[in-house]
Amino acid sequence: PGLIRFLDDGTLELDTNPVENQIRPIALTRKNALFAGNEVGAENWAMLASLVATCKMSGVNPVDYIADTLRAILDGHPKSAIEDLMPWCFNQPSSIAA
């Protein structure tokens, strides 16, 4: 369904350049992942790099987002409200309510 969504919504562009431009730095530093130590380390690096790129695409400061999100999790943010913790829902530091 996501691949044909542009057919229903005329405002969506049939172009992946913005996404490709966002992940280009990850592709350019791919060799660094070879020295992650092990497979789990490489997976963690890839997850963090993806999270940072998602923050940047959402116009969110990654450091503020990660700090507030970890704080919210430690303060007992409910699992049922996980959508509130997504980067595209983040407005500013301390915007995540527990």
Whether residue 31 is found in the same domain as residue 3: yes
Whether residue 40 is found in the same domain as residue 76: no
Q: How is residue 86 annotated by DSSP? A: S
pLDDT of residue 84: 92
Low-confidence ranges of the chain (pLDDT < 50): 94-95, 97-98
**Which sign, positive or negative, has the C-alpha torsion 92, 94, 97, 98?**
positive
Whether residue 52 is found in the same domain as residue 75: no
Whether residue 4 is found in the same domain as residue 52: yes
pLDDT of residue 37: 76
pLDDT of residue 17: 82
pLDDT of residue 64: 94
pLDDT of residue 50: 86
pLDDT of residue 39: 80
pLDDT of residue 98: 43
Whether residue 26 is found in the same domain as residue 45: yes
Whether residue 50 is found in the same domain as residue 66: no
Which of 77, 70, 67 lies closest to 97 in space, CA to CA? Answer: 77
Q: How many domains does the chain have?
A: 2
Residue 96 CB neighbours (<10 A): 22
pTM value is: 0.59
